[in-house]
Amino acid sequence: MSEFLPLFPLPTVVLFPNVFLPLHIFEPRYREMVTDALASDRLIGMVLLRPGWEAAYDGRPAIYPIGCSGVITHVEQLTDGRYNLVLRGIERFRVLSEERDRSYRRGAVDWLRDEPLKRDDHAAMHGLRSRLEALIAPSVDRAGTDIRTGSGMNDEDLVNALAQYLDLDPIEKQALLEQDGVRRRAESLLELLEMKVLIARTPGCMTNVAH
């Protein structure tokens, strides 16, 4: 891996480990970022912009310190220099500092490796997974998708895929990414979804889920 990780800050996108993310790269500074990444280890660090980023977007607006690296698995360079990419999430990280020697942002990072599941975690994960699948089944049915298509995924990949692909606020996804380990992430995701269901069933309740 390179000494510094290229950082791609976006206001609405959170990447999770082992989940795929399509991207369209059009800004000159991020075209340079992709060119450099392709010539190196093909890694890009996805980070979420903090609220209020609009006023400073062309500069270096504040970001949440925890993000997820992604490796470029597919790349298409268009004739005008833009890129279509697919990233696969690799590993969470914490930004320790940033370099200012390029047109795009680069960070020195501390890699955050999730602790493997312990023996007593597996039974808990089985219950959490069953409850998550039951909660999302109605929306999956409405979309015409078979919930069983995820049956071949391991617990961590399923939880991360749900966290990324479900219709959640970016800050809610960020909070899930910051959870240490798949069990905590699954518990937080389940709590979040159950709260949304409760709010949706409460007449006259317009309160959003706490961020």
What pLDDT does 121 receive? 84
Question: 25, 36 in Cβ contact below 8 A?
Answer: no
Look-up of token digits 């959170």: 14
Domain positions in the chain: 5-112, 119-201
- Please determine, looking at this structure, whether the domain spanning 5-112 carries the CATH number 2.30.130.40: yes
What pLDDT does 135 receive? 87
What pLDDT does 140 receive? 55
| 2-28 tens-digit pLDDT | 579 999 999 999 999 999 999 999 999
Establish whether domains 5-112 and 119-201 are of one fold: no
Please give the CATH number for the structural domain made up of 119-201.
1.20.58
Q: Can you give the pTM of this predicted structure?
A: 0.87
Plot region of 52 (φ>0 → left; ψ -120 to 50 → alpha; else → beta)? left
Question: 95, 109 in Cβ contact below 8 A?
Answer: yes
What pLDDT does 203 receive? 66
Question: 193, 136 in Cβ contact below 8 A?
Answer: yes
Quote the CA–CA distance of 6 and 158 in Å, as a whole number: 27
Quote the CA–CA distance of 185 and 179 in Å, as a whole number: 5
Rounded average pLDDT over 42-65: 90
| 73-122 tens-digit pLDDT | 999 999 999 999 999 999 999 999 999 899 999 999 999 988 777 778 88
| pLDDT at 48 > cutoff 90 | yes
Give the number of other CB atoms < 10 A from CB of residue 39: 8
Q: Pull the structure tokens for residue 132.
A: 């998550």
